[in-house]
Amino acid sequence: MLMLTYSYNNIPKYKIEKMARELGMVYPDEVKSYFEKK
């Protein structure tokens, strides 16, 4: 049990972000929005 807790606390943030991006995470400023003129 201690080993599981230890391993999760030592995951670098860049690896967490990489895994999240592989699952489809995007930042709000990366999303381009457009508005249709009526």
Residue 19 pLDDT = 92
Predicted confidence (pLDDT) at residue 24 exceeds the cutoff of 90: yes
Q: What is the pTM of this model?
A: 0.51
Mean pLDDT over the full length of the chain: 77
More confident residue, 20 or 10: 20
Please give the Cα distance from 13 to 11 (Å, whole number).
Answer: 6
Over residues 7-23, the mean pLDDT reads: 84
- CA dihedral angle for residue 15, residue 20, residue 26, residue 28, rounded to 10 degrees: -80
Percent of the chain with pLDDT over 70: 71
Domain ranges, residue 26: 1-37
More confident residue, 10 or 24: 24
